[in-house]
Structure 1
Amino acid sequence: MDDTPLPAEDTGATEALMPGLDLPATGPTPGYQVLARKYRPDTFEDLIGQDAMVRTLTNAFAAGRIAHAYMLTGVRGVGKTTTARLIARALNFQTDGIDAPSMALGEKGRHCDAIGRSAHVDVMEMDAASRTGVGDIREILEGVRYAPVSARYKVYIIDEVHMLSTSAFNALLKTLEEPPEHAKFIFATTEIRKVPVTVLSRCQRFDLKRIDREVLTDHLDRICGLEGASVERDGLSLIARAAEGSVRDALSLLDQAIVQGSDEDGPVSAPQIRDMLGLADHARVLDLLEQTLTGKTADALAELSSLHDAGGDPVVITRDLLDYVHATARVKAAGPGADLGEAADTVARIVTLAEGQTLGQLTRMWKILLTGLDDVRNAPDALAAAEMTVLRLASAASLPPPEDAARLLAGMPRATSPASGAGEAPGKPEPAPASATGSASAAMDRDAAAHRALSAPEAVAQVEQDAPAISGPQTWEALMDLLREKRDIGLQSDVERYVRPAVFKPGSFTFQPIEDAPRDLAQRLSRRLLEWTGERWMILADGSLEGGETWSERRLRLKAERLEAARHDPAVTEVMRLFPGAEIVKIRDPQPTAETDTDATTEKRA
């Protein structure tokens, strides 16, 4: 037997082979932990905004009706993985006094810490985004049949389960159908539609909701208090809005916002957070919407450009416009008392906007902005796409409300003005007339036939007896007088040259545009009448109609008629006889009228 003593351990060699293990006994100084990890819910009571799910699980655990598989779905950051770990802890809850599944996790159980750190041997977490194949699932299925090592249940948490391949899902089905008593499955996904229905039918499903903006703002405020940070409430609301209901996103943004200020500067302000987020000034976006809806397109485009220069993202600006149109529609439907979660002055401005629009118009604007948002996101020039969206919105705002257009096509009188809700009580839209729901082409044919039955002079002078009172010109001639009075030379010239009037009623005007007429003539005239009269006019251009003579043609006709009348005047006839070769140069009235405000001048050829 060799009694030679063994050599002492070569500590230096060990240190050389394993660097970094000579750590101080006290351990390393812990680094900063981000808020999203630091304030991850530790109990079901800490979960915010998921009361329905917590209530259902609590009742199920109390009744002993615990499912073998759960499917958690929702957008990013609402707590799917956190909830899965809490359920795993509840299933395996065990203390000195409790040895049964329990939703009351206030007291730490034997397995809670290990499960919370994803380090428990009986709770396996798998990311299906990186392990999608059938082989990965087979590893799980082979271990399912063995009993847990120390816990009550073996729990399999599979995140992003929709990423599994078809063959992997098929391999999982049989086990989900008849799992062992000691096995539980918890799935999490952001794309529930990609999960096969055969899997969904074998799971108890919970849809985790986006967190309400006010609830999330309160949550951020509490965390600021715990962190000793000072951030204005309006700034926290901006963060909650940008997070779109995701707690994790909100906490990540709060981490960034807290360092925007210092103790000397005071609380972090809303403008600082707005700059951090790249958001446009919310109030200025409301200015943009007001300018757009009132036809001030030049001002609207200038405002949009100014917001962009100030750092506003065109996508965010368009989304803000969507939010305001949605808020305006809510006020229109539910009245001024609708809960908008906005400041009092902002609510007052939204109420004013709602008074000038109908629900049909607001719905049309919503669809335009929704399409425009996709355009802005995908366009090579986001600002140009946002400008085109604003222009489309302005054009739609100048069109008659859809309900009035349906009435016109049906040959029915126009409803009341938009300010009164177009004849609708809040929340109770008036049903469309039966004739308006039929064929649109048939209605247009009937309308055109009615117009053709009237001669142009009588048609333009007609005023419907039961039409509601409305300010502004009451006749076609009065409309032309208004154009001259307002000195909108471009619009006046286009109306005189291109408009063949068909039907004129206070508040609505239908005309036949002649060839080469500007395509936006009806919209321009409608916008100007809204500015001048305060009433929304329904202006329709219909090329299928047979309108009367244009104002320019009328003026030439009157001039020719006056000239012909002058030639037959006995005194003029005698003068022309006495002076051969004489010409009629001008015809003057002692008191010029509106119809003859232009001198009639012609020449008589020798």
Structure 2
Amino acid sequence: MENFIVSARKYRPDSFDTVVAQSSITNTLKNAIKSKQLAHAYLFCGPRGVGKTTCARIFAKTINCTNLTPENEACNECESCKAFNSSRSFNIHELDAASNNSVDDIRNLTDQVRVPPQMGKYSVYIIDEVHMLSQQAFNAFLKTLEEPPKHALFVLATTEKHKIIPTILSRCQIFDFNRIKVEDIAEHLEYVAKSEGVEVESEGLNIVAQKADGAMRDALSIFDQIVSFSGKKITYQDVITNLNVLDYDYYFRLIDQFLKNDVTGALLTFNDILNHGFDGHHFITGLSGHIRDLLVCKDPVTVQLLEVGGEIKERYKGQAQSCPQDFLLEALKISNECDLQYKISQNKRLLVELALIRMAQLSLKKK
């Protein structure tokens, strides 16, 4: 049986140009390599799954490449690149600070730093989750980080920059990685789907991108999960079923019912949602999000804040035009109050139903 490689590993970027949505950082690193102005220590910070460790590896590979391309990318043909690509390079050392956070681990590292590289110009030390180092380990690391040998270069990666002591921060060039936008994740997922011969509806990819919450690694993991569930042809319905996401259609239907003062219809729609196994709190937060999206669609300037695409985006724009702004603001206020009171309510279903009735009555007040 052929070994399966998860998409997050199979499609991991191997050059600066293939890193998604971090162009300001990759361009800065490429310019530093081109001008030969390399710092001795870098700190990559940002949310999980946005490319911190990946960029550190690409950077380490590129600065040791003996035959850089005109675009300042690694050639993948020299002996150093081949050693890196086959995971046998002795120039790149990775340390997981989450499990190697003691003073002894750092002392072993500082002893290792003195040894020059066997091949290439630099020995690169990538320390992941560096904020997990103990206070004593940080102190033991300070002198080496400030004045390492000429051949040593450190790249520290963390999701929690505020936990790193100021004396470490002052010795590093700091790069803040962005949370990846929904449209960038969806675009990359579309590329992965085509490469794997998977047919997938664009609305489905958009849901996966939203669920990933800015992390490309999470998005690729979710994509693999859905492919296992649906096979090579994925529909929007497959995605929302597998991820237990409420269909947009419910929310569009509810807003139409509110505008018509259709209290009965709204209560029956909510009952249908509960019968499908969805939690009332999950529903009311989703409704708040839907009303918020309608509000941003009211103004052409703010419509860019809508993180959906394709036919769904046009549907939002259409419904937004039929909703008075005062109605949307009042409805959002009611749904937010319901959200805040949900956890302390003794009769949660009644709380949500009362909120729906109040929203349905808003159209009467405007007449």
What TM-score results when the alignment is normalised by the length of structure 1? 0.53
Where relative contact order (Cα < 8 A, 6+ residues apart) is larger, the structure is 2
Label 1:53 to 1:306 Cα distance change in 2 as closer, same or farther (>3 A).
same
> Shift of the alpha carbon at 1:30?
4.4
> Shift of the alpha carbon at 1:328?
3.1
In 1, the alpha carbon distance for the partners of 2:35 and 2:86 equals: 29
Label 1:337 to 1:91 Cα distance change in 2 as closer, same or farther (>3 A).
closer
**Partner AA of 1:355 in structure 2:** Q
In the other structure, the counterpart of 2:323 is 353
Contact 1:70 1:185 in 2 (8 A): yes
**Partner AA of 1:120 in structure 2:** S
In 1, the alpha carbon distance for the partners of 2:302 and 2:54 equals: 40
Q: How does 1:267-286 map to 2 (within 5 A)?
A: 267-286=233-252
In 1, the alpha carbon distance for the partners of 2:88 and 2:352 equals: 52
In 1, the alpha carbon distance for the partners of 2:73 and 2:26 equals: 11
Equivalent position to 1:74, from 34, 46, 51: 46
> Shift of the alpha carbon at 1:156?
0.8
Contact 1:144 1:180 in 2 (8 A): yes
Task: Tell me the secondary structure at the aligned position of residue 125 of structure 1.
Answer: strand
Equivalent position to 1:204, from 167, 173, 180: 173
> Shift of the alpha carbon at 1:248?
1.3
**Partner AA of 1:303 in structure 2:** T
In the other structure, the counterpart of 2:185 is 216
Q: How does 1:256-271 map to 2 (within 5 A)?
A: 256-261=225-230, 267-271=233-237
Task: Tell me the secondary structure at the aligned position of residue 343 of structure 1.
Answer: helix
In 2, the alpha carbon distance for the partners of 1:49 and 1:384 equals: 45
Task: Tell me the secondary structure at the aligned position of residue 184 of structure 2.
Answer: helix
In 2, the alpha carbon distance for the partners of 1:295 and 1:170 equals: 66
In 2, the alpha carbon distance for the partners of 1:77 and 1:38 equals: 15
In the other structure, the counterpart of 2:101 is 132
> Shift of the alpha carbon at 1:247?
1.4
Q: How does 1:66-465 map to 2 (within 5 A)?
A: 66-95=38-67, 103-116=72-85, 118-261=87-230, 267-288=233-254, 300=266, 302-312=268-278, 314=280, 316-332=282-298, 334=300, 340=306, 341=308, 342-353=312-323, 355-357=325-327, 364=333, 368=337, 372=340, 388=351, 391=354
Task: Tell me the secondary structure at the aligned position of residue 316 of structure 2.
Answer: helix
Count of matched residue positions in the alignment of Structure 1 and Structure 2 = 363
If you compute each CA radius of gyration, which structure gives the higher value, 1 or 2?
1
Asked if residue 31 in structure 1 is aligned to residue 10 in structure 2, the reply is no
In the other structure, the counterpart of 1:60 is 32
1:451-509 Cα offsets, whole Å, 9 max, x none, are: xxxxxxxxxxxxxxxxxxxxxxxxxxxxxxxxxxxxxxxxxxxxxxxxxxxxxxxxxxx
Compute the RMSD of aligned alpha carbons: 3.4
Contact 1:121 1:149 in 2 (8 A): yes
Task: Tell me the secondary structure at the aligned position of residue 65 of structure 2.
Answer: coil
In the other structure, the counterpart of 1:439 is none
In 2, the alpha carbon distance for the partners of 1:531 and 1:137 equals: 66
In 2, the alpha carbon distance for the partners of 1:182 and 1:102 equals: 24
**Partner AA of 1:225 in structure 2:** K
Contact 2:280 2:352 in 1 (8 A): no
Q: Which structure dedicates a bigger proportion of its chain to helix?
A: 2
> Shift of the alpha carbon at 1:533?
5.2
The percentage of counterpart residues that share the same residue type is: 34
**Partner AA of 2:39 in structure 1:** A
Unaligned runs of 5+ in 1: 1-28, 398-526, 536-606
Unaligned runs of 5+ in 2: none
> Shift of the alpha carbon at 1:290?
6.1
What TM-score results when the alignment is normalised by the length of structure 2? 0.85
**Partner AA of 2:29 in structure 1:** L
Q: How does 1:523-562 map to 2 (within 5 A)?
A: 530-532=362-364, 534-535=366-367
Task: Tell me the secondary structure at the aligned position of residue 255 of structure 1.
Answer: helix
> Shift of the alpha carbon at 1:49?
0.8
